[in-house]
Amino acid sequence: MKRVRSLRCPICRKIVLGSDPEFPFCSERCRVIDLGKWASGGYVISSPLNDPETGDSNYPEERTKKPH
C-alpha cells in the first residue's frame, strides 16, 4: 500500500494531499497570499545570518574577534 503525504495549508489550514498541484498550498490564492507575506516582510528569519566565506556577522562583538 502506497502512503499519500498530506499537510495542512499554511494559510487556511485545509488538508492538502502531496499529489495536489499546488502542494503544500490548497490553491493558487493561498500560494499568492504566502508570497505576499514574504514580499512585504511579514515573515522574517529570526536567527542571525553569518557568511562563513567573508566572516561577516550581525553581531558587532563577533566582527572584532580574530580567528585563532
**Domain parsing of the chain, residue ranges:** 6-39
Contact by Cβ (8 Å): 43, 37: yes
Q: What is the mean pLDDT of residues 33-57?
A: 80
Rounded to whole angstroms, the Cα distance separating 7 from 15 reads 6
pLDDT value, residue 33: 97
Mean pLDDT, residues 32-47 taken together: 89
pLDDT > 90: percent of the chain: 47
- 0.75 surpassed by pTM: no
Grid cell locating 55: 566572516
